[in-house]
Structure 1
Amino acid sequence: MATPTLVLIVHALATCMMAGVIWFVQVVHYPLFNAVGEESFTEYETRHQSRTGVIVGPLMLVELATAILLLAMVPAGVPRWMPLVGLVMLALVWLSTFGVQVPLHQKLSRGFDARAHGVLVATNWGRTFLWTARGVLALLMLKASTNA
């Protein structure tokens, strides 16, 4: 049986890793999409999706599972509102991911589209902000749990 502290540590690691990934994607990776070239873009986008999925898929699932577990087993010293707010932010990330970013990637997988690319970069700032805030919140929960 996992302890609340172990769940929180795993959660903080997954969340902070996703925060790092999303900043890289937002600042480096997505802006470079328009430099790939139209002839190679479809193959590039397909490879981007499969390779990125290998990294972010497991991290997102671990983050979600531990976020849910933290509601059931709040670590000592952590105010109950913290995991609740964290889970709400994570729900917004998932809604954005599967409601906005995934459809845009599907469109881009058929060929480069400057408008879709621009919307992808612009809307991804929301996920970047949310994952950053979640990382800060996870670290604050860790601090609160060590002060208990």
Structure 2
Amino acid sequence: MAIARVAVDFGLVVLIWFVQLIIYPSFRYYNPADLAIWHPKYTNLITLIVGPLMLAQILLVGWELTHRFSWLTLGAAVVIAGMWASTAFQAVPIHNAIAAGDTSSETLDRLVRVNWVRTVGWTVILILSVVDNIGRKQS
């Protein structure tokens, strides 16, 4: 299970950094009409990747908390809860605004800025996961 958790956490980190450095900044280069066409396709497609990874992460961390508790896993669970909250209460409303036609520079910049919370959070989760996995192998 530990290797699966590290793999899922790694997948989310690669994805979030790709989103942060390439995908979200690229929205600035679309004209509003093209972004209105692309954005719903993007959000539907990315959900097919992000959704299963986020669910797998919750299931794996939940399993570890109940079957082989560690403080590092508990810390990861707290950060994961923060990532879900940030997604639901920060990123999704911005995506909804974009979907409704708000493609202003302010909105697109806010999306990149807000996403730093998730980028750092999922990076911290991966670090906790790797350190926890190393610690379990040494004990």
Give the TM-score category using the shorter length: over 0.9
Superposed, 1:24-63 pairs within 5 Å as: 24-63=18-57
1:76-126 C-alpha deviation (Å, 9 max, x unpaired)? xxxx21110000000000000011001100110122232221111001101
Corresponding residue number in structure 2 for 1:141: 132
Q: What is the aligned-residue identity percentage? A: 27
Instruction: Provide the rounded CA distance (Å) in 1 between the counterparts of 2:60 and 2:35.
Output: 36
Deviation at 1:58, TM superposition (A): 0.3
- Which of residues 83, 90, 94 in structure 2 aligns to 1:100? 90
Count of residue pairs brought into register by the alignment: 138
Conservation of the 8 A alpha-carbon contact between 1:14 and 1:62: yes
Residues 1:125 and 2:116 are matched in the alignment: yes
Higher helix share: 2
Match of 1:115 among 103, 106, 114: 106
Q: Distance in 1 between matches of 2:61 and 2:54?
A: 10
Q: Whole-Å Cα distance in 2 between the matches of residues 32 and 63 of structure 1? A: 28
TM score, norm. by length of structure 1: 0.90
Which 4+ runs in 1 deviate beyond 3 A?
A: none
C-alpha separation in 2, matches of 1:8 and 1:113: 43
Unmatched 5+ residue regions in structure 2?
Answer: none
CA distance in 2: counterparts of 1:36 and 1:90, whole angstroms: 32
Distance 1:74 1:86 in 2: 14
Name the residue aligned to 2:66.
72
Q: Secondary structure at the match of 1:130?
A: helix
Q: Is the 8 A contact 1:74 1:83 kept in 2?
A: no
> Whole-Å Cα distance in 1 between the matches of residues 136 and 52 of structure 2?
25
Provide the C-alpha distance between the structure 1 equivalents of 2:23 and 2:84, rounded to a whole number of angstroms.
Answer: 20
SS at match of 2:68: coil
8 Å contact from structure 1 (residues 104, 120) kept in 2? yes
What is the CA RMSD across the aligned residues, in angstroms? 1.0
The 2-side partners of 1:8 and 1:98 are apart by: 27
The answer (yes or no) to whether the contact 1:15–1:131 under 8 Å persists in 2 is: yes
